[in-house]
Structure 1
Amino acid sequence: MKRRLLASTIVAGWAALGTQVTAHGLPPSGVAPRSSCAGLTGLTLPNTQILSATQKSGYCNVIGIINKRTSTQDPDHFTYGIGFALNLPNTWHGRFEMMGGGGTDGSLQADPQGAAGVELGQGWAVAADDGGHEDSANNMVGGYQDDDANAGGSAHFAIDAQARRDYGYNGIEKTATISKQIIAYFYGFETVYSYIMGCSNGGRDAMVASQRSPWLFDGVISQNPGFNLPQAALAEAWNEQVLGKLATSTDINGQPFIPDTFPQQDLQVASAAILSACDALDGLVDGIIDNYHACTARKVFPALASYTCGTGSHGSTPHGGSCLTSAQVDALKTIYAGPVNSKGQRLYSNWFWDAGIWTPPTAPGAGWGFWNVVTAPVPGVNTAINLTLGAGAIPMIFQTPPVVTPVNGANGQEAFVFRFNFDTDAPKIFTKTQAYPESAMDFMAAVSTDLRPFRARGGKLIVSSSVNDGIFSGASIARWYRKMNQSMDGRATDFARLFMVPNMAHCGGGAATTSFATNELSAITDWVEKGIAPERIVAANTNTTSPYPTGGVFDPRIAMNFPAGGTRPLCVYPKIPAYKGSGMTNDAANFACVDPGFKPGGDHDFHDDDDDGRGQNAQ
């Protein structure tokens, strides 16, 4: 209601000045600045320094710092602050977007164009922040750096409790608030519609904002959200320890060398096995498992047995591209069941079985292999993201108090991951101390299912997620959505909609229809500003030919029916795309969104559990 009143007030203000406005408060001809760009450097704002304001082609680029300080808690006494950038178009159309961050942040997008890449060009004001710390000595926010290779590396900032809060939630809230004040000064009008859009940690930023600061944004797009990052981090350690048992050598830090445990040809076999069990469940053999809820362990395990070297029907040569060893199959079963403690109590979600476990070379992306096995092969070096980015975050950010280790060495971050104790270390994501009064779950997670404040003020939420992207469980976000729907009296679709994307790697890529960001943007603006809720979002596939081989371990129908160079619909969960029976399989018009009849519990693997994540059946 407050937003509607504000929009009405702005419309009245424009009308009083003789400016024509649309029914939704957006002037069709836009608004020009009422002051010079350079003049913004003299603007006085609470706890904020404007470092530069530079006129560029078509917009004003503002860079500043909020709450700059010298840490007394950090033994290095580093400088901290929320670095931000704001681009203000020469002709503004009333919209503001906050871009979510990524990874552990620490790097400012100094020239933000918009999360979909088109917003600034369409007359939006666009802002970004660095999460309250800086990893680069040559950054645009004053030249300070918050890294210490001997004490946490790029995650060193987590030694400071305020920096943890800034990273978790405060950076987005403060940047959005200050940005709106600058917008009001620059144009002489308040923002009409506010949005946030981001992927991964940026998707978490978006979900956190809808739950913690429901007044900030009218529209929220959360892509592949790390909404439960502390518990997902437990799965990172779990997966690497499981794979570590397959390792036959050690890396430069004396830890299990993971790249040889699942070479690309083995991930390809795993993908083929999963497809052989589940691809036809949606009515079309095309390399995409749309009916992912029906793809249960009961269906997949016999297929894996068929592809097991020596005992199955696909050969007996390990790593030869046609079968998996029994140890590899056991490892996959253990990983996909999710981490547990010694009592067998679940610590994070289980996972959907999905063909995206293999990312074809012609459809690159940060898929399962990138996170768990290897990114770029380097002799003797583990480059899996879980053992680089994850290995820094697990001890520093997701343990309270932080466990300060050097980046490398026999007792470094990697060693912490392989020695992680799921009985004694896992509960520390909930720990609070006097020096760190907020646990990792407090300042990082966005697991609340009570979105009544966001719904009450008219907010709209679109979540899109890979069915299984290698770092965040698709089953986890689907479970959260079902629980949230229950909390919202079965009316979640009134204001929040989830879209699942099979095969997609983390934040895009993979053998999937992954190009849909601009369509998401159109969907959220239509929903917020026109009241038109999205029933489907059309996604495009940029592969001109099928990334699947035409033969070998894959069903030949896959290459024939894969939607190369075409489109497919993403459907409102729990609906799935179903082929109508005629027409090109790479045309979204030939697919309907249907209810697959999924019911939690029963014979399905993905149950709704009443758990808080403290060692039972977690999200």
Structure 2
Amino acid sequence: MSLPTTGGRVESVSVRTGLVGGEAVTYCQVDADIFPVDPTAPHVKMRVDLPYDWNRKAMMFGGGGYDGTVPDLAENVPFGPTDQPVPLARHYATFASDSGHQQSPAAPPSLDGSFGVNDEALNNFAAGDALKKTRDASLFIVRHAYGADPAEVYFSGGSTGGREALVVAQRWPEAFDGVISAFPAWNNLSEGLDLGYLAQVLSRPGAFPGPAKQTLLHDSVINACDGLDGVEDGVVSNPSGCHFDPLTLRCPGGADAGPSCLSDPQIGAVVAMSTPFRWPYRIASGETGYPGFPFLSGADMRTPFLGFGTTAPADPMPVTSGYGLQYWDQWVKYFLTRDPHHSSLDVDPRNPGKWLSRISYLSTIEDRNDVDLGPFARAGGKLIMLHGAADELVSAASTSDYYRRLHDTLGPRQTRAFMRYYVVPGANHANFGTPSFAAAWDSLSALERWAEQGQAPRNPIVSDALHDRTRPLCAYPDWPRYRDGAPDSASSFVCTH
């Protein structure tokens, strides 16, 4: 059943021919608006690309951050392969939307939360309403263009898009035949509370470790834990076995003595980031905490924009602060207080005071934590979920928590019948910057074989797009342990507990 709108309109149609992922493709591009019920709410802006040589399949892409722009329909799936065509070049009809609001051109990409002052726009984004509206409108256009429905409809996304992938499987179990969810921010409010706490910690005098100290910490963790998987290759394949003590980097007397050590306030900040955060009150979603970020488990801190940032959080929040800290700042201003002048550092996630009831309400929209995907599985849906162990923006420990909850709810047999979850050692958030391991795997072909032919993924291999090496892609909770042979070959590793 479609969600309420007041209709829509095709705004433009154009025929395009060009290289898409190195392949020549001719397609019709359709831009359209979906009109809101609330006349003060923004439109949902959407786009559909219709290849002339259609393969009878459709792919919807998720967004990122606060969304606000239509994703590139010629993009690849997250952690996608570099040696295979992207979906549009495979002649998929591809579609996506801005999730129901348009980002301000003056805001950093995907960091404009100002739409949150409108309830319909908030639900379009946070609850995922725009996903179903976009899916239904896009398939109407597909039917009009080709005179037929797609044989299969898939969804792929990472980060916010990964969260959106889980939302469609939860809320509309028959809408998609298969879903790829990468590094999903599924417990969006819970993570935000942890980010808010970390913003306060990092804003304390002397607590912020600058880029040089972040590099020191990263290199120290790698040096301490790299060989735990049997080979020293710059990748910590067994992060749960890494127990790095930040006190080994303590400056003499605990006072800041330069880039070669950490002061006591900086050690406190690092420990806070890598420690689970718990709040002493109840929220309606039932969440009680966030597992923290694995900076002491081999995370790659050479991408400071996503992690710490290069400057400490402050009011106003600097654009050089970490992405997550800026995300929290927007959330406080537009989701929580709906006051653009409110300082995000004045909201204490440990003791929110008058804001508790609003936080609790927002948790019902943002924490999409219903793990009963039984209806999706019974409808024949297949789910592939991936996360990089070194993700510095969305905790891999959080996704593992989601998987364990789902596994406990449905049981091992039913879970394995429709889902695979892989943690990629050394991979960070969306292969941003120069990760230790730039994950590249043809998850789309694996999903097609599973959904269309009943062939589940078997012994998958993930490549490093920046280095000439491969690793076995181990189903969680397994990880690749070096056995013998060439250390750049997947055949030299075995998946182990």
Does TM, normalized by the shorter one, top 0.5? yes
- Alignment counterpart, residue 502 of structure 1, candidates 417, 425, 447: 425
Which one has the largest radius of gyration?
Answer: 1
Deviation string 1:93-116 (CA, Å, 9 cap, x unpaired) is 111000001111111237555545
Q: Is contact 1:354–1:502 with CA below 8 Å preserved after alignment?
A: no
Q: 1:154 to 1:369 in 2, by over 3 A?
A: closer
Matched residues in 2 for 1:269 and 1:110: separation?
Answer: 36
- Residue in structure 1 matched with residue 267 of structure 2 by the alignment: 329
Matched residues in 2 for 1:336 and 1:110: separation?
Answer: 34
Deviation string 1:64-99 (CA, Å, 9 cap, x unpaired) is 01124664xxxxx4x512110000000111110000
Measured on the aligned residues, the alpha-carbon RMSD in Å equals 3.1
Identity across the alignment (%): 25
Q: Is contact 1:113–1:126 with CA below 8 Å preserved after alignment?
A: no
Q: 1:374 to 1:329 in 2, by over 3 A?
A: closer
- Helix, strand or coil for the counterpart of 1:289? coil
- Residue in structure 1 matched with residue 439 of structure 2 by the alignment: 515
1:538 aligns with 2:461: yes
- Residue in structure 2 matched with residue 355 of structure 1 by the alignment: 298
Equivalences for residues 76-87 of structure 1 within 5 A: 77=40, 79-87=41-49
- Helix, strand or coil for the counterpart of 1:507? helix
1:235 aligns with 2:203: no
Matched residues in 1 for 2:444 and 2:91: separation?
Answer: 14
Deviation string 1:413-442 (CA, Å, 9 cap, x unpaired) is 5x22354342226744653xxxxxxx3233
The Cα of 1:461 is off from its aligned counterpart by: 0.6
Q: Is contact 2:170–2:376 with CA below 8 Å preserved after alignment?
A: yes
- Alignment counterpart, residue 167 of structure 1, candidates 125, 133, 141: 125
- Residue in structure 1 matched with residue 468 of structure 2 by the alignment: 565
Structure 1: stretches of 5+ with no match in the other structure:
1-44, 72-76, 138-146, 248-257, 407-411, 432-438, 544-563, 597-619
Q: Is contact 1:80–1:163 with CA below 8 Å preserved after alignment?
A: yes
- Residue in structure 1 matched with residue 251 of structure 2 by the alignment: 309
Q: 1:482 to 1:289 in 2, by over 3 A?
A: same
- Residue in structure 1 matched with residue 308 of structure 2 by the alignment: 369
Q: 1:496 to 1:366 in 2, by over 3 A?
A: farther
Matched residues in 2 for 1:516 and 1:442: separation?
Answer: 34
Deviation string 1:212-231 (CA, Å, 9 cap, x unpaired) is 11111111111111111110
Deviation string 1:373-428 (CA, Å, 9 cap, x unpaired) is 579xx99865322343331123423x3xxx1223xxxxx35x22354342226744
More strand by share: 2
Matched residues in 2 for 1:514 and 1:429: separation?
Answer: 39
- Helix, strand or coil for the counterpart of 2:289? coil
The Cα of 1:136 is off from its aligned counterpart by: 4.3
- Aligned amino acid, residue 235 of structure 1: D
Matched residues in 2 for 1:217 and 1:487: separation?
Answer: 22
- Residue in structure 1 matched with residue 20 of structure 2 by the alignment: none
- Alignment counterpart, residue 444 of structure 1, candidates 366, 382, 395: 366
- Residue in structure 1 matched with residue 69 of structure 2 by the alignment: 107
Deviation string 1:49-77 (CA, Å, 9 cap, x unpaired) is 11111111200000101124664xxxxx4
Matched residues in 2 for 1:148 and 1:289: separation?
Answer: 36
Matched residues in 1 for 2:236 and 2:72: separation?
Answer: 39
Q: 1:420 to 1:365 in 2, by over 3 A?
A: closer
Q: Is contact 2:462–2:470 with CA below 8 Å preserved after alignment?
A: yes
Matched residues in 2 for 1:112 and 1:462: separation?
Answer: 21
Matched residues in 2 for 1:541 and 1:114: separation?
Answer: 16
Q: Is contact 1:513–1:541 with CA below 8 Å preserved after alignment?
A: yes
Matched residues in 1 for 2:318 and 2:15: separation?
Answer: 48
- Helix, strand or coil for the counterpart of 1:80? coil
- Residue in structure 2 matched with residue 226 of structure 1 by the alignment: 185
Matched residues in 2 for 1:96 and 1:156: separation?
Answer: 31
- Helix, strand or coil for the counterpart of 1:369? coil
Q: 1:365 to 1:236 in 2, by over 3 A?
A: closer
- TM-score, normalised relative to structure 1: 0.69
- Helix, strand or coil for the counterpart of 2:42? strand
Q: Is contact 1:500–1:573 with CA below 8 Å preserved after alignment?
A: yes
- Residue in structure 2 matched with residue 578 of structure 1 by the alignment: 481
- Residue in structure 2 matched with residue 263 of structure 1 by the alignment: 210
Matched residues in 2 for 1:465 and 1:429: separation?
Answer: 31
Matched residues in 1 for 2:304 and 2:321: separation?
Answer: 15
Q: Is contact 1:86–1:112 with CA below 8 Å preserved after alignment?
A: no
- Aligned amino acid, residue 301 of structure 2: W
Q: Is contact 2:305–2:323 with CA below 8 Å preserved after alignment?
A: no
- Helix, strand or coil for the counterpart of 1:368? coil
Q: 1:379 to 1:93 in 2, by over 3 A?
A: closer
Matched residues in 1 for 2:299 and 2:212: separation?
Answer: 14
1:183 aligns with 2:106: no
Deviation string 1:269-295 (CA, Å, 9 cap, x unpaired) is 212332344333222232222112223
- Residue in structure 2 matched with residue 93 of structure 1 by the alignment: 55
- Alignment counterpart, residue 7 of structure 2, candidates 39, 47, 54: 47
Matched residues in 2 for 1:49 and 1:270: separation?
Answer: 53
1:422 aligns with 2:380: no
Matched residues in 1 for 2:93 and 2:318: separation?
Answer: 46
- Alignment counterpart, residue 388 of structure 1, candidates 326, 351, 354: 326
Deviation string 1:192-234 (CA, Å, 9 cap, x unpaired) is 1111111111111101111111111111111111111110001
- Alignment counterpart, residue 319 of structure 1, candidates 254, 258, 261: 258
- Aligned amino acid, residue 390 of structure 1: W
Q: Is contact 2:180–2:384 with CA below 8 Å preserved after alignment?
A: yes
- Helix, strand or coil for the counterpart of 1:358? coil
How many residues end up aligned between the 2 structures? 466
Matched residues in 2 for 1:113 and 1:282: separation?
Answer: 34
- TM-score, normalised relative to structure 2: 0.85
- Alignment counterpart, residue 176 of structure 2, candidates 192, 203, 217: 217
- Helix, strand or coil for the counterpart of 1:388? helix
Matched residues in 1 for 2:118 and 2:235: separation?
Answer: 45
